[in-house]
Amino acid sequence: MSPLRVLLESAEAHRRAGRLALAEVAFSRAWDLDATCFPAAEGLCRVRLAMGRPGEAVTAAEALADRHDAPASLLEIQARALKTCRRLHDALALHRRIVAIKPSSGTAEHNLAAVLGDLGQVDAAEAASRRALAKGLTAPELWLVRARALLALGRLDEADRAFRTALAGRPDYVDAHRDLAQLIWMRTEDLSAATQALRCARDGRASPSLILIEMKLMEAAGETRAALDLGERTLAAAPDHPELILAVVRLLAATRPVEAVASAEAWLARRGPSPNARLALVEACLAAGDPQRAVDVLDILRADRRDEQYLIALTTTAWRLLGDRRAVAWCDPRLLREVELRVGPGWRDLPGFLDELASVIGPLHHFRTHPVGQSVRRGSQTSRSLVGASHPVLHALFQALDEAVRDYLAEVGPGSDPFRRRNDGSFAVQGAWSIRLRSGGYHVDHVHPEGWLSAVLYVETPPAARGQDRQGWLRIGQPGIPLAGPLAPQGYVQPEPGKLVLFPSHFWHGTQPFEGSGTRLTCAFDIVPAFR
């Protein structure tokens, strides 16, 4: 047996046994022996991806994946690594090649549909899911991808049927249960109807994953007391379910903070220092009036998660409660900017652009009420991502956003705080969506955990926002978690059509409710440093 073959077999044996460091060494040696060896590149990519190093995984396979004779298996693992690095367009190109290599494969079409959906190209995603079905694939995962594309297209009855088909193939498919329940809730604003299928699926059993979905629906409907009661009853039967414990501790913190601390401590003692247990303890300590202990635990959590936006927000909250001046540096008010959107040629003026933008995004609001687990209340949020949309006015919107973000990053420059530390001028839009609030509508205070820089564009504003009583205004710096003592907002922004507001994603922000006629229509964006 050749030395190359020996190394490859040894590397694969290590990988299958979970000895990833040894597998990486063996695959690297195989690569050194033959830099054109597809199995070595594929194995190295697979191992580095499993080790949480997707950038190095991409590099390992990049050169050979560009070859015309690259096997589909190499392209598939490279596409996974690219998706992990948020290089979705590059992943899309590979999935198109895989479909060409395996034209009869329903799985290849399904994977193509999934990445098209991630990119917001939902028409193409729906078409690819149809082709996958025509090629004989009937997996529940495909029906879920298809259902999400139909949902984004506003074909709600078809989406409902597709979710139910996914569940018929896999009755315990948690993702499909969650999405179907949310669809029913957003269409009807009927908590009983949204939870009926969940209750039938668990048939009286204490199923923590399904009960968590039900609890989140209850919270969305304002039934937090009932959500806590359900969670506590379920914990009696499933005392070690991490996500359920975290959910219960968070609900406890609002009404019984001392008990929340005790529950988090018991969880830590029983389960060990897991990130979720520590996070629960942080939130409980802040609610119970012990910010110093929260800081001590946050220092541990942030040691290897220093860019996590929610942890940054919790840290600045604790520092503010302690009077620590570092909170000022991390929440520098100069990092919030208000600018007027500059649109390119093709529109006579900004109001004309906004009118056309409203006519395009308005019909994307298909729902009666807000989604589950998001900040909006008494309003709707688009299920279709605006990223990747092909309409000229949306293309112009992203061009104008690109210009504004470049100017912003150049103006704020580098620095040592969590935002400026990552500012090298490069960026990519991670997500974009629209919110429409009606009378009584508002956002609860929150941060954007998937972002780094967040932005909101005001497209339409209600008459009430023109007054000085701050109806419908953006509120900055008021934490959206239970605290022993209140922390006042650090500022407000009056919304005006055409105004673009940019701020770090770890800034707490919410909106004041408004009453009366009109709607508050916005486009929101999450922006991240470009992957290097």
DSSP state of 86: T
Q: What is the pLDDT of residue 285?
A: 98
Binned at pLDDT 50, 70 and 90, residue 153 comes out as very high
Sign of CA dihedral 157, 159, 163, 169: positive
**393 contacts: CB under 8 Å, gap ≥ 6:** 353, 356, 357, 360
CATH code at position 524 = 2.60.120.620
Q: What is the pLDDT of residue 200?
A: 86
Rg (CA), the chain: 25
What digits encode the pLDDT tens for the residues 298-315?
999 999 899 999 999 999
Residue 155 within any structural domain of the chain: no
Q: What is the pLDDT of residue 17?
A: 93
Q: Do residues 167 and 177 touch, judged by C-beta distance below 8 A?
A: yes
Binned at pLDDT 50, 70 and 90, residue 344 comes out as confident
Residue 377 within any structural domain of the chain: yes
Cα 425–chain centre separation: 23
Residue 136 within any structural domain of the chain: no
Give dist(CA 426, CA 149) in Å, integer. 30
Kind and range of the H or E run holding 492: strand 491-493
What digits encode the pLDDT tens for the residues 172-181?
999 999 999 9
Residue 249 has pLDDT above 60, yes or no: yes
Judged on CB neighbours under 10 Å (0-12, 13-18, 19+), 270 is: exposed
Residue 135 within any structural domain of the chain: no
Give dist(CA 248, CA 261) in Å, integer. 11
Residue 71 has pLDDT above 80, yes or no: yes
Q: Do residues 525 and 455 touch, judged by C-beta distance below 8 A?
A: yes
Binned at pLDDT 50, 70 and 90, residue 61 comes out as confident
pTM, full prediction: 0.89
Residue 493 has pLDDT above 80, yes or no: yes
Joined together, the tokens standing for residue 411 give 């103006």
Domain count of the chain? 1
Give dist(CA 451, CA 7) in Å, integer. 41
| Domain ranges, residue 472 | 333-528
Residue 2 within any structural domain of the chain: no
Residue 53 within any structural domain of the chain: no
Residue 320 within any structural domain of the chain: no
**297 contacts: CB under 8 Å, gap ≥ 6:** 278, 281, 282, 285
Residue 62 has pLDDT above 80, yes or no: yes
Q: What is the pLDDT of residue 531?
A: 65
Question: Counting runs of H as helices and runs of E as strands, what totals does the chain give?
Answer: 22, 9
Q: What is the pLDDT of residue 207?
A: 86
Share of the chain above pLDDT 90, in %: 82
Residue 483 within any structural domain of the chain: yes
Give dist(CA 41, CA 64) in Å, integer. 7
